[in-house]
Every structure is written in C-alpha cells, then in structure tokens.
A and B are shown apart, each in its own frame.
Chain A
Amino acid sequence: MGALFALEGVGLEIGGHRILHDVTFTVPDGGITVLLGPSGSGKTTILRLLNRLDVPTSGSISFRGDPIDQLDPLALRRRVGMVFQQPVVFPGTARDNLLTARPGASDDELAERLRAARLDRSVLDQLADDLSGGEAQRLCLARTLATDPEVLLMDEPTSSLDPEARRHLEATARSLVERGMRMVWVTHDLDQADRLGDHRVVIVAGRPATEREMVRYLADGSVDEGAVDEGSAADEEDEGPPADEADDGPPAAEDGPVDDSPSRRADA
C-alpha cells in the first residue's frame, strides 16, 4: 500500500514554542489511520499541516508523492477535506452550507452528500443553527464531502457528541471508508481508536511516541510526566528514530527507540 501522506522531519514552532518536533511517519493510502495521543500532544496540529491551515517550520510533507508546499493550496484543501472538533455551521440553511462548498449544485447533488453523511434530504431547508450537535457535525461532514475530497481529516469529530451521535458518526465514517474514502482520524479515546483504526500512530509531546511510550499509552492511556505539555515537552534532544509506518502494530516498533530511559524523558 502506497503512502497517502508522508511526513519527514516535520517541526513547527509558534511564537517561540516548539509544537512539533521531528515528526516522521507515513499515512497508508487506504482505510482509517488514527492519530492517537493525549490532549495537547500535537495531533490536531499535524492535521492542520495536512490541510495546510498551518505550514511546518522544518521538514517536508507530501501528499500522494507530491510535496504539498508545491501544490495549489485551494485545490489541495478540496482534495483533503477537514472536519473540525466542534461543528462549525455557517449562517443560513443546510442548503446554504452545502452550496458554500459546492456553488451552483442541484438539490439532488446536495442530497447525495447528505445521504453519505446519513442525513435526510428534508434537512436542506432547515436552519443550520437549529440542528442538534450530532446533526450539525454530520452536516459539516456532508459539506466537506461536497468538495469531493479524496481523503477526510477528522479532528476528534465526536468529542462534543453524546454516545448515540458518536456511534452514528463512527458508523457513517466506516461506511464512507467501505466506499473507498481514506481518513485520518484524531482521537485521544483508546476505545474509539480500537473500534475505528485500520492503522494508528501514537503522538506524544509533539512527536511520534517511542515504543516504550506507546506500550504504556496503549495499556492505560497514561504518558510519562513531562511528555504531555504541548510546546514545552518536545525537547531539544533527539529521541532516536521516530515511528515510521502507521500500522496495526505499534507504529514505532519497526525502528524502535534508541534511548528511552526515564531520565531522558524527565529532561523533556
């Protein structure tokens, strides 16, 4: 399976804070790749880089083999759709929302996107602000689908939803993937990662986790102290080769840690 995205030595600093540090891994071209890790570890930031809402200060990212900084950003964003953590609906009806992404589309075309997001056509005339949280998030998904993306970036899309709405959205995601959609799904929920992930990458402190960190995180969701704080935790020291390939097994297993001792972690 080829690489959908390949990140090579990606770093990001914002306002003097190091958010990401030497991030290297690939996203396989198929299924759902889960980016897993504690809050503040840099998962969302990585997703933003893939959509080019942010650009790395070092390293490179490619999409299907093309460096994304050489692709037209607007065309890239239509190929790489993004659904945010909080549903952001635009003023007006659901139709207005969908037309923002696909101007001039017929109701039939819009209804097809709604159906893919498991929403009824009757929603078209409803005010977007009147939808429930789960419906609003599915409308956001339908709106993103309206650009006919090749891949969806899902930024903890169920974190603000109740359990039923969450299950509903997960089922929607799975049905989309069965029809050929690729997804990168960010979550800090280990159970959700197990349910959804065809591949997974664990991110800790702004970089892919070492094997030790991954084993510990996957066991009980905990991380070493000092490896949580985004920006401050990604230290100056080289942690050894980072996780390379997202896979069913531990993502860092192939390269393994060079030195993963607690004392080094404490320096972080």
Chain B
Amino acid sequence: MPELPTPLLAQDGAAHAAIGWGGLATSLLLVGVAVGLSRWQGLRLDREIVWASLRALVQLLAVGYVLVVLVDPDTPVAFAWAWVGAMVLFAAVTVRRRAPEVPGITSLAVVALAVSSAISLGVVFGLRIYPVAGRAIVPIAGMMIGNSIGGLVVAARRLIAELSERRPEVEARLALGQPWPEASKPFVRSSLRTALTSQIESTKAVGLVFLPGAMTGLILAGADPVDAVLVQAALMYLILGCVATNVVVVGLGLTRRLFTPDHRLVRLARART
C-alpha cells in the first residue's frame, strides 16, 4: 500500500487555498444571482436562499473554529474521537428524519455507523495509512459517515417498501415453513443491492464525470495532482467499504426487527415517497 503524503496537508498549500474574507464576499455574488433568478421567475425562494447561505456560513465557521482546536497537535486525540461520536449521533438523527417510517432506525443507524467507523478507521490507522491525529481522524470520519447517510436511508426505506409491497410472497414463503431469514432473503438482497449500487456507480464514475471533494481541495491547496489522486483513491475505497458495512448492518438489523421470534412479518407502515 502506498505511503500517502500526509505532510501535504500542512504544506504551503494553505496559502494557495486561502481566499480570505474578501474572496468569500465576492463569492456571495453568486448567491445574489440565485436570488435574482428566484425573483425573476417568481419562485419566492429569496429568503430561503439567503437564509440557507447564511446558515451554512455560520455552521461552517463554527465547525471551522472547533476544528482549529481539534487538529491542533497539542489537543488530546480523545477530543477528536469524541467529535466522531457526535458525528455518528447527528448522522443517525439525520437518517431518522429522512426515513421516519422505519421502526427503530435511529438506534440501528448508530450501531451501523459505529461499526463501520470502527472498521474503516481501524484500517486507516491500524495499517498506518494516516497517523492517529485529530487532523486525520475528524475529516476522514466525517467523509465516511457523511457518505454513508444516503446508503443507510436507501437501504432502510427500500427494505420496508420491498417487504410491504411483496408481503404476499413473503408470507407464502413463511407459510411453507421457511424461517424468516430465508423467507426475507430475496427482498433483503434486492434492497441492499439498490442501496449499494449508487455508491458503486459513483466510484466507477470518479475522475471521468466529477472530481471528488478531497482531491479537489488538495489540488486547490497546491498539492501535486498525483498525490491528491492517491489520497482520493484511498478515501474512495474506504468510503465504499464503509457504505457497504453500513448498508449490510442496517439491512440485517432492520430485517430482524421486522419479523417476530415466531416467524411472522410485522405490519409495516408504507414508505412515503
């Protein structure tokens, strides 16, 4: 495995990447364009756009100031791990908001995200791809957890929809004396495939269709593009593994909750589209 150029994160790229308050203010011109288009088309989204832009700025600044502390070499690494824990909780709440019809999704998402984070970060730091430091822990965990939210939501919602729509077939299988893991297998498999396909397609399209964030950031920060590609490739693999772990954990955990111990399918709420 290639030794990835950790120091490039701290190189003089910061000078290239910094745009300053002036640059930020200039970029606000594009928000003005969005507001203008909204008014021109009578979309009545002016306030929404301004509010979203300001809120994003405040949230990012707040996180930025926290990150300043977390990535400081003098800050105990335990704070970075605590931040990862908070990210897992926030991500689980986000999943719950996006899939409210799924019973017990919050706790399932916490378990799935914790397991996948432990595995992924264990690989990253156990194999010394990056040093165990706040400046590596926080962004890498953030990328993996953030990218897993979509897969979690799709897996959970798809599974509920499959078992709800295909209830007659599931019950026909149960009525033959099949245990629930067997009776649900075709539908669990289909849901997990759907949830993972999007991430696999993204992985296939990377570089050809879009340049992913980490790589773009590194290049903007002045890193050598090939070094940036190596970092990005490693992250893509980690994200793929993390999303797969999340999808499988939540899929299997949720399936277990949808059947009773005496092999009956519980009544399911219809997923809202």
Contact = CB atoms under 8 A, between A and B. Distances in A.
Interface of A: 14-15, 51-55, 73-75, 77-78, 81-82, 84, 86, 88, 90-91, 100-101, 140, 143-144, 147
Nearest to B261: A73
Interface residues of B, number: 16
Contact of A51 (B169, B173, B175, B267): B175
A101 B177 CA distance: 8
A84 B173 CA distance: 11
Nearest to B169: A88
B175 A53 contact: yes
A147 to B, nearest CB: 6
A245 to B, nearest CB: 27
Interface string B163-178: 0000011011111111
A74 B169 CA distance: 16
15 contacts: A52-B264, A53-B174, A53-B264, A74-B177, A75-B177, A77-B174, A77-B176, A78-B176, A78-B177, A82-B175, A84-B171, A86-B168, A88-B169, A90-B169, A101-B176
A94 to B, nearest CB: 15
A90 B170 CA distance: 10
Contacts of B267: 14-15
Interface string B212-224: 0000000000000
A216 to B, nearest CB: 33
Most buried by B among A14, A101, A147: A101
Contacts, number: 52
B179 A74 contact: yes
Contacts of A77: 174-177
Contacts of B186: 91
A93 to B, nearest CB: 15
Contact of A100 (B173, B179, B262, B264): B173
B266 to A, nearest CB: 11
Contact of A88 (B172, B178, B179, B263): B172
A157 to B, nearest CB: 13
Contacts of A73: 262-264
Contacts of A86: 168
Given A54-B264, A81-B176, A90-B173, 10 more contacts: A51-B175, A53-B264, A55-B262, A73-B262, A77-B175, A86-B168, A88-B169, A91-B186, A100-B178, A147-B176
Contacts of B172: 84, 88, 90, 140
B247 to A, nearest CB: 23
A18 B36 CA distance: 58
A264 B172 CA distance: 39
A14 to B, nearest CB: 7
Contacts of A53: 171, 174-175, 264
B264 A55 contact: yes
Interface in B242-273: 262-264, 267
A52 B176 contact: no
A74 B171 CA distance: 12
Contacts of B178: 74, 100
Contacts of B176: 77-78, 81, 100-101, 143-144, 147
A55 B64 CA distance: 55
A84 B267 CA distance: 18
Contacts of B175: 51, 53, 77, 81-82, 84, 144
Contact of B177 (A54, A91, A147): A147
B263 A74 contact: yes
Q: Which 8 A-B pairs have the closest CB atoms?
A: A78-B177, A88-B172, A82-B175, A77-B177, A73-B262, A101-B176, A74-B177, A88-B168
Contacts of B263: 73-74
A88 to B, nearest CB: 4
Nearest to B172: A88
Interface string B193-210: 000000000000000000
B267 to A, nearest CB: 7
Nearest to A88: B172
Contacts of A140: 172
B103 to A, nearest CB: 14
Interface in B55-83: none
Contacts of A143: 176
Nearest to A140: B172
A84 B171 CA distance: 10
